Amino acid sequence: MRLELIGINHQTSTVDIRDRAAMGQDDIQINLNNLVEMENIDGAVILSTCNRTELYVSPLQHHSENAFRSLFQSLTRLTRPEVDSAYIYRDEKAVGHLLRVSSGLNSQMIGEIQILKQVKDAYHLALNNHSTNSILNRMFLKAIECGKNVRHRTRISEGSVSVASAAIELSNRVFGSLDNCNVLLVGAGETVRLAAKFFGNAGVESWRVSNRTKTNAASLSDNLGGNVVEFPPTEIDVGWADIILSATSCSSPVVQEKTVFNSSESSNKMQLFLDLAIPRDMEPGIKDLPNNFLYTVDDFKDLVAANIESRQGEAIRAEKIVDKLIIDFSKWYQENRISPTIQQLQSVLETIRIEEVNKNVGRFQVEDRDQVDKFSKSLMRKVTSLIIGNLKRASREKDDVKLAKALTIALSSADNTNVNEVLEQLDNEFSHRSTP
């Protein structure tokens, strides 16, 4: 059994192509059922997200590249030239790719955490559909373990990577929990609505909305469960708020330094001013007031850039973790590849043992025959374990000469037609290995 992967992602395809390659849960189930019914496929898993569609299969023999692309095309709504841009990886490279995917190293935004859940879901869907085999099970469990390890042992998923999430991160750094924070929204446009959604998800429940057009302010405040206040905001409203978020299209600042100074003069409380407008909505002097923090879009870009840089640094550490797990898997995989041969070898040796015991059993007293049987079993067990150990080691080291020697030495004195069959099978094994 072998491993193969074909797929497209954000690096190889446009959004349009990715959309047409994407599959819903029902499509995936139908495709998985069709795939495992194919003669050459022992197991399959399909991973389909907004940024990638990947088909993992465990075939009995590797497909030719052309056949594999045709198979992928038949599952998606892609044209042949589009499928030609898909990447194909086999065996250890396929494992390495999946481990990087689950770790977030292959994501559009390095370290994103959603992908690990998507890998888990894809695997569980295939598992429940009985379309996985031992190799795919092992590979996906290793990938999930790898994703968890990378996120636990590095900071690859820490730090916000968009302006809106950076605003939340900063608010959290200032106030801790946002549950008891009062938020004043200045403006009612798309940016403010999006930011309000983020803050709402972070636990904010107390809102005031200040906007030039009252109906828009009322619509937003109704959605949030807040109140509409004067535009521009008064000292009372500014003084009430812990976080003041502004994104209007006004050409001059709507939140004045003097208003802020007067509002906070007696309260001594910390306030966070988030100016997401271009041109600016808040006077720059606000940042010089001792209790206030003023952040603009440019500042958030710096925070986002710092976080991205930090994630890239962590990616180097994550790669080391991934590499180690790839080696672990490869060891198991190499041993697993030789297991049918081992099983057959055990069967051959057992046949030889039984034949020899039956041939010679008449020479012994009846009461000694059990002992002879036990002795032959014990002897064969020792010889077999020696050969199997040697085979596994040779298989792990991919040393075909050693592998051949191990079997030849093991069976050279035997004269049995089954042995010849085993050697023939081994020859086939070697010829497949040498085929790219």
Residues lying near another protein in the complex (CB under 8 A) are found at 151-155, 158-159, 170, 172-177, 267-270, 287, 290-291, 293, 295, 299, 302-303, 306-307, 310, 317
Nearer to another protein, 123 or 293 (CB): 293
- List helix spans (H) across 50-133: 65-75, 80-84, 92-103, 114-128
Minimum distance of another protein from residue 244's CB (angstroms): 16
Q: Is 339 left (phi over 0), alpha (psi -120 to 50) or beta?
A: alpha
The Cα 112–Cα 50 span in angstroms is 13
Question: 43 and 131 in contact (C-beta within 8 Å)?
Answer: yes
Shortest distance, CB of residue 192 to another protein, whole angstroms? Answer: 23
Distance, in Å, from the CA atom of 169 to the CA atom of 202, rounded to the nearest integer, reads 10
| Sheet with 292-296, edge to edge strand ranges | 227-229, 206-210, 182-186, 243-246, 271-275, 292-296
Both tokens assigned to 183: 């938020």
Q: Which is nearer to another protein, 73 or 296 (CB)?
A: 296
What is the nearest approach in angstroms of another protein to the Cβ of residue 142? 18
- Closer to another protein by CB, 70 or 267: give it: 267
Please state the closest distance from residue 203 (CB atom) to another protein, in A. Answer: 13
181 noted as active-site residue: no
- Three-state secondary structure call for residue 107: coil
Q: How far is the CB of 262 from another protein (least distance, A)?
A: 16
d(CA 184, CA 235): 12
Whole-angstrom distance, CA of residue 282 vs CA of residue 221: 22
Nearer to another protein, 148 or 433 (CB): 148
202 CA to centre of own chain: 25
CB atoms closer than 10 angstroms to residue 275: 29
By beta-carbon proximity to another protein, the closer residue of 262 and 330 is 262
Angle, vertex CA 421, rays to CA 420 and CA 427, nearest 5: 90
Of 170 and 345, which CB lies nearer to another protein in the complex structure?
170
**Whole-number minimum distance, CB 306 to another protein, in Å?**
4
The enclosing H or E element of 48 equals strand 41-48
Of 50, 146, 181, 250, which is the active-site residue? 50
* Active site positions, annotated: 50
